[in-house]
Structure formats: structure tokens, C-alpha cells
Amino acid sequence: MGLVGGGLTFITYQDLYKDVVSWDIPYDFDTVVGVPRSGMIPAAMLATHRNVALVTPAELWLLIKRREVFVPIHSKVLMQQPKHVLVLDDSVHTGTTITYIRKVLLDLPVELRFAAVYVTPDHRDLVDFYRHLVPQPRLFAWNFMHHGLLTQACVDMDGVLCQDPPRQITGAENYEAELRDLKPLFLPSVPVHTVITCRLEKDRTVTAAWLTKYGVQYRFLVMMDYDSPEARRAAHEHATWKVNYYAAHPELTLFIESEKWQADYIRVQTGKAVVCTEEILASSHCGVA
């Protein structure tokens, strides 16, 4: 994990895996309950690493109350009744979720213990075990596009929200068709402050239509104002233009950029938080250094 500017801590999949498998949490539990959705990720890592059962809270409740067994993928372990259960979430911030899960499962005739990989210092007492104290603001690679910080964020278009357009396209009609048919990459589930893109103003209609098609909500769509792609390339100010916009808006506290070199430049020039999807994808590759 590390700072990405502006005091923001960003935790990658690789960070999470290392933290889970090196965790000195007790070995005496026979079932891990993952708190949906994001808690299922570390829960699956831990359950697989320790070779114990993995269920959701609803599955645990039905398994014990109705003695139903689920999903053949882990039926071998689930044939026995759980006795020592670890309820695991990726993080605890306000404690609302873990408190609710505790109430739901409290009357089950099993030993229940609660854990989170990352907790804020003020809420460490809500769990029996935690791996790291991580204060806010923080973002995780597995849910950074679902965080409330996006309401204060600039989000790059190509390479973040959607694929990068092919570099060699001839003809305006072909280019518009390519933009229209680009596949989504990281779609936000909360409104973003500004979608920022080096596409030209003449492409606003097709760009806005794509955002609408995939349910991306935003306040502003900021595009470059050049007469042609050639003029834009000649100016060579993609990163500088983004820096100027980000720096000029103090209400913006996060920038999500696709290319590492631009992300580094924006971070250095503004001193504000910048997350890079190229780095996120690289950190999620198989293999842990």
C-alpha cells in the first residue's frame, strides 16, 4: 500500500493478498464468512489459503437453521456443521455493516469472531482481529469506482471508463463508429464530478451518448478544443491541460488517469491524489513479488 498524493492511501490487490496470507490470525476456525460484496475477496483468499469453508452470511444462516448444503465447489468442507466461524470484511470504516452482520448471526449456535483486513483507528474495537490500521482517506483497487470520493474526482475517459480507441482510424464516420462501440473498462456506480478527456469538442455528442448508454453519471464533461487531431497532437499538452484543470479546481481531490507517465506528472505538478488504472492492472497480474 502507498500514498498516491494528497494524503490518500491506495491499496492494491497485491497488497491485499500479501496482507491476508501473512496474517497471524488464529488457525482454529473451520468456516470463513465473507461479507458481500467486497469482503468476499479477502474471505476467498483466506479460506483458500487455510483450506476451510467459504460462505456468505445468508448461506451460513441457512446451513445451520435448515441444514442445507450449498454449491458443489466447496461441498466437501460444508458437509460438516460449522463450529468456529470467522466473519471477514475487507475494511471497517463506520462499522455499520459489521454491526448489522453481528446482529443477524448472533443467535446461531456457533462461535463467532469478527475480522477486517483494514480498519480505521477509531473503530478497531468493532472486530476481534484486524491486519492494519488505515485512516481515511483510502481507496481499494477492488472498489475504487464505487467510492464517494468520485463526487470530488476527475475521471479520464479512454483507458479508464472505456478502452482506448484504435490509433489508426481513417475517416470521420469510422472514428465515430469506433468511439460508439468501445467496450467499458471501469464503470462507476456513483456520480463523478468531471469526466475529462483529450477527445475533441466535435466528438462531444458520441462521447455523451456512450456515457449515457453505460449509466455513467457526471456533472461536467471536459474536452479539448482544437480544430483537428493534428492540431491537438502538435500542441502536445495532454498532461499539462489536465494539470491546469485539476489544479484550478480546489473542490477536486482525486484524479483517475489511465497512463502512468501522465499520472506521475499530474501528481507531481498538483500535489494532489492521482490513481492510475495502468498501475492497478499491473498490480493485479498473477504473481506476488
Question: pLDDT category, 288, cuts 50, 70, 90?
Answer: very low
User: What does pLDDT average to over the chain?
Assistant: 88
Residue 92 scores a pLDDT above 90: yes
pTM for this prediction: 0.85
Overall domain count for the chain: 2
**Are residues 158 and 239 both part of a single domain?**
yes
Average pLDDT over residues 69-84: 59
**Are residues 235 and 110 both part of a single domain?**
no
Residue 79 scores a pLDDT above 60: no
Predicted pLDDT of residue 40 = 95
Q: What is the CATH classification number for the domain harbouring 85?
A: 3.40.50.2020
Domain limits for position 22? 2-140
Predicted pLDDT of residue 76 = 47
Question: pLDDT category, 234, cuts 50, 70, 90?
Answer: confident
67 within domain boundaries: yes
CA diameter of the chain: 70
Predicted pLDDT of residue 72 = 43
**Are residues 8 and 92 both part of a single domain?**
yes
Q: Which tens digits make up the pLDDT trace of 149-194?
A: 999 999 999 999 999 987 655 556 677 888 999 999 999 999 999 9
**Are residues 193 and 275 both part of a single domain?**
yes
Residue 250 scores a pLDDT above 70: yes
The DSSP-derived string for 144-177 is GGGSGGGGGEEEETBTTTBPPPPS---SHHHHHH
The DSSP-derived string for 28-91 is --SEEEE-TTTTHHHHHHHHHHHT-EEE-HHHHHHHHHS-----GGGHHHHTSPP-EEEEEEEE
Predicted pLDDT of residue 80 = 67
289 within domain boundaries: no
> What is the percent of the chain with per-residue pLDDT over 70, rounded to a whole number?
89
Predicted pLDDT of residue 145 = 96
